[in-house]
Amino acid sequence: MKNCHFNKPIILTGLAVVIFTLASCANVEPVQECLKGDQYGFFFGLLHGFITPISFIASLFDNNVAIYAVNNTGGWYDFGFLLGSGGWGILAGNKSKKRK
């Protein structure tokens, strides 16, 4: 009879995926109270995306700080947020280039 050998990394990875999937379920929060007043557009999305690392650190210590504005104009805010948060990669530069 052959011994059955399981690949431990594959089993552990699969188990981790299942655990994280089950743990990622969250309650739906009503946001109607947040959707009053002015809506944030493209330029606020750009600003919010750019200050994401700072907002994240502040949100760890203060529950009133959020990274993403719920009351936004939709696609344009999302586009600005994406461009703003991508700016951090541009600031890092390309360190892999060889100097001559």
The C-alpha atoms of residue 44 and residue 46 are separated, in whole angstroms, by 5
39: nearest Cα among 65, 70, 78, 67: 70
pLDDT tens for the chain, 100 residues: list them. Answer: 455 566 777 888 888 888 887 776 656 666 676 677 788 899 999 998 888 888 888 888 888 888 888 888 889 998 899 888 886 666 556 555 555 5
Q: Which pLDDT value is given to residue 100? A: 54
Q: Distance between terminal CA atoms of the chain?
A: 62
pTM of the model: 0.55
The C-alpha atoms of residue 86 and residue 88 are separated, in whole angstroms, by 5
Q: Which pLDDT value is given to residue 42? A: 92
Q: Which pLDDT value is given to residue 29? A: 63
